[in-house]
Structure 1
């Protein structure tokens, strides 16, 4: 990393920790921080996963609050917005300072799409979704994501394409994916757009994880900031968010960038494998914990939803393989035509009397 860029991230940390200390000391909130120390401990793991995988910090914060502490799903969503606005933003600044490669075309499209739909989803869609279905949406999305990674891990980690920063198709895919995920997933659970964009990049565009994961981190940071802005302007934060955020924020500000840095040294395979197992585990946990409310029919619907997500992943994978094969054939065709043209030009230069 260039020292001239590192100072930007260090300044961000200095500003954040100064503001946090001023808030805690000035308002005498140490007791509130101590009261919520379990969340800080949980987010030490969650923030590392947020920086090193396509899962936002809310992917850990949501089930911890909702499943372990038996809090409302709406609190898990609001906490996801709040904690990711520090952790994912810190990781994004770190990524940009390191000048890591990003899929800019899809990132721009996703940002525009989510900017339009996340506020609409928070204000009009999330309030009408029952708490139980919020939990199931989260469980199904990440459970199917984990299963897909478990049996396609070798293929995903072998991808090497850097991506095209000016690809119109990637922009359109990002625009549509960001709009749909922002309205249906982010507004309800606080996470999801990172997973959707990562999946589009890896499965459809066949992009290297070194590009896809940082891109997913940046788009989730933007989505979280949008969520925080909407919740703050509407004054609709759930009680309990502030205390949990106050305890976890100083941890995630360093934890997420640490994940970005460490995974570059140890590789992503083992981290992705561990997180995939956790994603499947939380799906099973929610199904068991809510078995009475779900009943047999609800459980069947959840399993069918996971199956539908896996079919969608596989469909996207086949489309991505066909597009990649078509691109190779196009390149080979251009090369062959260029070669034939060069041979023709060289042949034309040979004088008949020289034969």
Structure 2
């Protein structure tokens, strides 16, 4: 279907100027399928820190791309009957959808571009540190699913999903790592179960987010849509391939992969120095407050 549409509407011509996005999404799609991070964890920092693209455009592209790639990865999980924690998917999604809408309408407009970049790097680096602490615990007891499931555990998952939905609203992903962190650190679920569990959660959130931005609001930028047009073939093929690889790799290999990605994100963040712009914005606001105060 993509080939028919691309030929009919001359999407292939976009590769001349947008070739870099399919290239980076080779890594993004594999990461989305293999790990507890969505493709947006690669696309967002590359677009905002590397290409200096507006975070809203990067967020919208991440949601659109994940709504395609993550759902294809979900098909592989279902087809291969990979173990997931279904209650985490259910209650995490129940909390994340309201969080996503709240983030779009209330939280995201409060942040400027520099703040979004800093928040993204801070959140994902914290996740990498938490994962490192988790893996440093030798011979820890783990379970395939959440044992002795009680109402308070459902409420924790709903609250975690809500916070993750807010993260997803400004960065394009985030609910996945929130759910992963809570089910592994608090409920001691094995990473082999927690990792594929995050795929349907982020996939469903991306579908809702893509619909909300593209159909309900209707203000997705042309650049985000053009990037999507050239990246769809990568997402629908390599995200499922990543899920297949992730089901065979040792959890330490997947964890090391995440450490490397987050280290690169931190280095990119430090090199671009977005806090300098943030400082100028704060000084401008202070002057405005002083002026109106007089």
Task: Indicate conservation of the 8 Å contact 1:145/1:276, yes or no.
Answer: no
1:177 and 2:160 correspond: yes
Among 211, 216, 219, the residue aligned to 1:236: 219
Task: Indicate conservation of the 8 Å contact 2:144/2:190, yes or no.
Answer: yes
Which residue number corresponds to residue 72 of structure 1?
54
Which residue number corresponds to residue 246 of structure 1?
229
Give the distance between the partners of 2:83 and 2:197, measured in 1 at CA: 8
Task: Indicate conservation of the 8 Å contact 2:176/2:201, yes or no.
Answer: yes
Which residue number corresponds to residue 170 of structure 2?
188
Give the distance between the partners of 2:38 and 2:138, measured in 1 at CA: 19
Give the distance between the partners of 1:156 and 1:274, measured in 2 at CA: 20
Which residue number corresponds to residue 95 of structure 1?
77
Task: Indicate conservation of the 8 Å contact 1:104/1:166, yes or no.
Answer: no
1:39 and 2:14 correspond: no
Task: Indicate conservation of the 8 Å contact 1:106/1:170, yes or no.
Answer: no
Task: Indicate conservation of the 8 Å contact 2:15/2:230, yes or no.
Answer: yes
Give the distance between the partners of 1:214 and 1:182, measured in 2 at CA: 18
TM-score normalised to structure 2 length: 0.88
Which residue number corresponds to residue 292 of structure 1?
276
Which residue number corresponds to residue 271 of structure 1?
254
Deviation at 1:263, TM superposition (A): 2.2
Cα deviation digits, residues 297-326 of structure 1 (max 9, x gap): x9xxxxxxxxxxxxxxxxxxxxxxxxxxxx
* C-alpha spacing 1:182/1:281, structure 2 compared with 1 (3 Å): same
Task: Indicate conservation of the 8 Å contact 1:186/1:193, yes or no.
Answer: yes
Does the residue aligned with 2:221 lie in a helix, a strand or coil?
coil
Structure with bigger gyration radius: 1
* C-alpha spacing 1:59/1:156, structure 2 compared with 1 (3 Å): farther
Give the distance between the partners of 2:129 and 2:160, measured in 1 at CA: 21
Deviation at 1:293, TM superposition (A): 2.4
Unaligned runs of 5+ in 1: 1-17, 299-355
TM-score normalised to structure 1 length: 0.73
Deviation at 1:157, TM superposition (A): 9.2
Does the residue aligned with 1:240 lie in a helix, a strand or coil?
helix
Which residue number corresponds to residue 120 of structure 1?
102
Deviation at 1:23, TM superposition (A): 1.8
Give the distance between the partners of 1:236 and 1:156, measured in 2 at CA: 49
User: Which stretch has the larger CA shift, 153-162 or 79-88?
Assistant: 153-162
Correspondence list, 1:300-315, <5 A = none
Does the residue aligned with 2:82 lie in a helix, a strand or coil?
coil
Among 189, 196, 201, the residue aligned to 1:207: 189
Give the distance between the partners of 2:67 and 2:139, measured in 1 at CA: 28
Give the distance between the partners of 2:141 and 2:39, measured in 1 at CA: 25
Task: Indicate conservation of the 8 Å contact 1:162/1:208, yes or no.
Answer: yes
Cα deviation digits, residues 189-246 of structure 1 (max 9, x gap): 1110000000001100000111100111110101101100100211021231011111
User: Which stretch has the larger CA shift, 190-199 or 165-174?
Assistant: 165-174
- Higher relative contact order (Cα pairs below 8 Å, separated by 6+ residues): 2
Unaligned runs of 5+ in 2: 283-294
Give the distance between the partners of 1:256 and 1:158, measured in 2 at CA: 30
Give the distance between the partners of 1:254 and 1:157, measured in 2 at CA: 36
1:261 and 2:244 correspond: yes
How many positions carry a matched residue from both structures?
278
Deviation at 1:294, TM superposition (A): 4.7
Does the residue aligned with 2:118 lie in a helix, a strand or coil?
helix
